[in-house]
Amino acid sequence: MLTSMIYLQPLVTKPEDFTGETVIYVYHDLDILVEKDELTPVETSKVLSYYTKEKDFISLGVAEGYYYEALFVDDRGNIPKGTRFINVRNLFRIDDDRFFYRAGYGRQIAEWDRATRFCGKCGSKTLSGTKERSKICPSCGYVSYPKVSPAVICSVTRGNEILLARGSKFTLPVYSVLAGFVEPGETLEETVRREIMEETGISVKNIRYFGNQPWPFSSSMMIAFTAAYSSGDLTIDNDEIIDAGWYTEDALPMLPSPYSIARKLIENFISQHT
Ligand SMILES: [Zn+2]
Contacts of 44 (CB under 8 A, 6+ apart): 21, 22, 23, 24
Give the type of residue at 140. Answer: C
Q: What percent of the chain has pLDDT over 70?
A: 99
**Confidence band for 251, pLDDT divided at 50, 70 and 90:** very high
How many A from CA of 114 to the centre of ligand 1? 16
How many A from CA of 104 to the centre of ligand 1? 29
Give the pairing type, strands 135-136 and 143-144: antiparallel
How many A from CA of 143 to the centre of ligand 1? 8
How many A from CA of 271 to the centre of ligand 1? 53
Tell me what the mean pLDDT of segment 43-67 comes to.
93
137 to 117, 144, 199, 227: CA distances (angstroms) = 10, 9, 41, 44
Please state which of the ranges 33-37, 92-96, 197-201, 232-236 shows the lowest mean pLDDT.
92-96
Contacts of 102 (CB under 8 A, 6+ apart): 6, 7, 8, 25, 60, 63, 68
Question: What digits encode the pLDDT tens for the residues 139-195?
Answer: 999 999 999 999 999 999 999 999 999 988 878 889 999 999 999 999 999 999 999
115 to 101, 104, 119, 237, 246: CA distances (angstroms) = 21, 17, 9, 34, 42
How many A from CA of 144 to the centre of ligand 1? 10
The arrangement of secondary structure in 9-115, i.e. its CATH architecture, is: Alpha-Beta Complex (3.90)
In the chain, where the domains are located: 9-115, 117-146, 149-272
Backbone angles phi, psi at 218, to 5 degrees: -130, 25
CATH number for the region 149-272 comes to: 3.90.79.10
**Spatial separation of the C-alpha atoms in residues 161 and 100, rounded to whole Å:** 34
The pLDDT score that the predictor gives to residue 1 is 42
Give the type of residue at 187. Answer: T
- Which helix (H) or strand (E) is 19 found in, with range? none
Do the two domains 9-115 and 149-272 of this chain adopt the same fold? yes
Residue 62's CB is within 10 A of a number of other CB atoms, namely 19
Tell me what the mean pLDDT of segment 19-47 comes to.
94
How many A from CA of 221 to the centre of ligand 1? 28
How many A from CA of 118 to the centre of ligand 1? 8
Question: What digits encode the pLDDT tens for the residues 85-129?
Answer: 999 988 887 778 889 889 999 999 999 999 999 999 999 999 999
Is the model's pLDDT at 4 over the cut of 70?
A: no
The residues that bridge with 70 in the sheet, in sequence order, are 25, 58
CB-neighbour burial class of residue 59 (10 A; exposed 0-12, middle 13-18, buried 19+): buried
- The answer to whether 96 and 87 are in contact (CB under 8 A) is no
How many A from CA of 219 to the centre of ligand 1? 24
Is the model's pLDDT at 2 over the cut of 70?
A: no
52 to 27, 45, 46, 59: CA distances (angstroms) = 16, 11, 10, 18
How many A from CA of 140 to the centre of ligand 1? 4
Helix, strand, or coil (residue 197): helix
